[in-house]
Amino acid sequence: MRHRLKDVAERAGVSVKTVSNVVNGYAHVRPDTRARVLEAIELLGYRPNLNARNLRRGRTGVIALAVPELDLPYFAELARHVVAAAARHDWTVLIDQTGGDPTREREVASGIRDHMIDGLVFSPLALTGADLAAVHPTPMVLVGERVDHAGADHVAVDNVAAAHDMTAHLIGTGRRRVAAIGAQHTVEGVTARLRLAGYTAALEAAGLPVDPTLIAPATHWHRADGAAAMRALLESGARPDAVFCFNDTLALGALRALHDAGLRVPDDVAVAGFDDIEDGRYSVPTLSTVAPDKADLAALAVDLLAARIAAPDGAPPGERTVPHTLHVRESTAA
């Protein structure tokens, strides 16, 4: 049974108007009355009709999640967590696949067409912090890439620490020629630069040389790119005994290339990824990876967005870091 405003009012012994004032967050309600109404709401499990509330406030009840591409399972998994977190605020999430196109990214940061969204959880690829600071009239929380000076809340994993931890794990299993796949030397390649910095720091901490012939670039981070980079590393004569791939899809491509070359994983070459996508739990061999806490990242981003929508000029933009863990599986087992 679904309770209505009237039931809450009766239970709390106040008028319907007073319940409505509490639900809408109006200030002129006495604290003890407010407490009584909130208690009745909780007791009855009353769920305010947020759609009607949104309309009165000029809101749509819709937020957007904008990501470069859903073909990367990381973003598809992130989308599921954001939809779940947004449901707790009674929001509909529409997902915008920008393809990393600057025009699309600008459009979405401006509220899509006619400002149809109340807010935006945004993983930008093309736009810089300065670009975003210039365009964003829509409440916005940035996720994933570290975009400085955007004037917006930002949630990310500590990419340097996470990459360091995985590289140190590979070194700890006795590997001495640890390659890296996924380097990008472009303005957009922020994540790649941070993961490369973590990789380099771990080698240096272990007293190992940073050998440029072991660092393979990848413009995109799909399986095909990982397979191509792995083949190039093998053909170059660099002879890696381990490879840290900057995401799991690169690593799954590398696994396939090693199989095609007749090399055993992890015996000949250990392989590690980043993201903990479902694919790596079922591949042969299963894939060791860095797992960012995606549910935590999504919940933090959505809660920050809710606060920002409620008070656009509230607290100064914040930086939040979500935890990560290493999952050691067959592909790097000692």
**Of 99 and 314, which has the nearer Cβ to a copy of itself?**
99
Strands 324-327, 178-183: pairing is unpaired
Angle formed by the axes of helices 31-44 and 5-12, to 10°?
120
User: Smallest distance, Å, CB 279 to a copy of itself?
Assistant: 6
60 binds a copy of itself (CB under 8 A): yes
Pick the binder of a copy of itself from 16, 44, 73, 333 (CB under 8 A): 73
Note the helical H segments in 71-212. 73-87, 102-109, 129-135, 159-172, 190-205
275-324-129-73 Cα dihedral, nearest 10 degrees: 20
Residues ≥6 apart with Cβ < 8 Å to 132: 109, 124, 140, 142, 147, 150, 151, 152
179 binds a copy of itself (CB under 8 A): no
| Enclosing H/E stretch for 183 | strand 178-183
**Of 70 and 130, which has the nearer Cβ to a copy of itself?**
70
Six token digits for residue 294: 């995606």
333 binds a copy of itself (CB under 8 A): no
85 binds a copy of itself (CB under 8 A): no
255 binds a copy of itself (CB under 8 A): yes
83 binds a copy of itself (CB under 8 A): yes
**Stretch near a copy of itself under the rule CB under 8 A, chosen from 21-29, 128-136, 202-210, 247-255:** 247-255
15 binds a copy of itself (CB under 8 A): no
Categorise residue 316: left if φ over 0, alpha if ψ from -120 to 50, beta otherwise. beta
* Buried b / exposed e along 230-269 (16+ C-beta atoms within 10 A): bbebbeeebebbbbbbbbbbbbbbbbbbbeeeeeebbeeb
201 binds a copy of itself (CB under 8 A): no
47 binds a copy of itself (CB under 8 A): no
| Enclosing H/E stretch for 93 | strand 92-97
User: Smallest distance, Å, CB 68 to a copy of itself?
Assistant: 11
Phi, psi of 161 (to 5 degrees): -65, -40
Pick the binder of a copy of itself from 35, 284, 315, 334 (CB under 8 A): 284
158 binds a copy of itself (CB under 8 A): no
Q: State the number of binding residues for a copy of itself (CB under 8 A).
A: 43
Burial class from Cβ neighbours inside 10 Å (0-12, 13-18, 19+) for residue 42 reads exposed
48 binds a copy of itself (CB under 8 A): no
294 binds a copy of itself (CB under 8 A): no
Pick the binder of a copy of itself from 35, 43, 52, 116 (CB under 8 A): 116
User: What residue ranges bind a copy of itself (CB under 8 A)?
Assistant: 51, 54-55, 60-62, 64, 69-71, 73, 76-77, 79-80, 83, 92-97, 99, 104, 107, 112-114, 116, 222-223, 227, 252-253, 255-256, 259, 278-279, 281-284
